[in-house]
Amino acid sequence: MTEKKASPFNDLIFNVIVPSVVLMKLSGDEYLGSVGALVVALAFPVVLGGYELIKYKKFNFISLLGFISVLLTGGIGLLQLDPKWLAVKEALIPGLIGVGVFASTFTKYPVVSKMLFNDTVLNLPLINEKLNEFGRKGDFERRLLTSNYLFAGTFAFSSAMNYVLAKMIVTSPSGTQAFNEELGRLTLVSYPAIAIPSMLMMMGIFFYMWRQIRQMTQLETAEILKAEQ
Chain segment 134-189, per-residue pLDDT in tens = 999 899 989 988 999 999 999 999 999 999 999 999 999 988 899 999 999 998 88
Q: Which pLDDT belongs to residue 229?
A: 45
Q: For 82-96, 115-129, 133-147, which range has the lowest pLDDT when averaged over its residues?
A: 115-129
Neighbours of 171 (CB within 10 A): 12
What does residue 122 show for φ and ψ, rounded to 5 degrees? Answer: -105, 155
Residue 30: strand, helix, or coil: coil
Average pLDDT over every residue of 123-140: 90
**Is the pLDDT reported for residue 28 higher than 90?**
no
Residues in the chain: 229
Residue 130 near residue 217 (C-beta atoms within 8 A): yes
Residues 6+ apart with CB under 8 A from 56: 4, 5, 6
State the pLDDT confidence band at 60, using cuts at 50, 70 and 90: low
State the sign of the Cα–Cα–Cα–Cα dihedral 128, 62, 165, 87. negative
Q: Which pLDDT belongs to residue 162?
A: 92
What's the pTM value of the predicted model, to 2 decimals? Answer: 0.80
Give me the amino acid identity at 106.
F
Residue 178 near residue 169 (C-beta atoms within 8 A): no
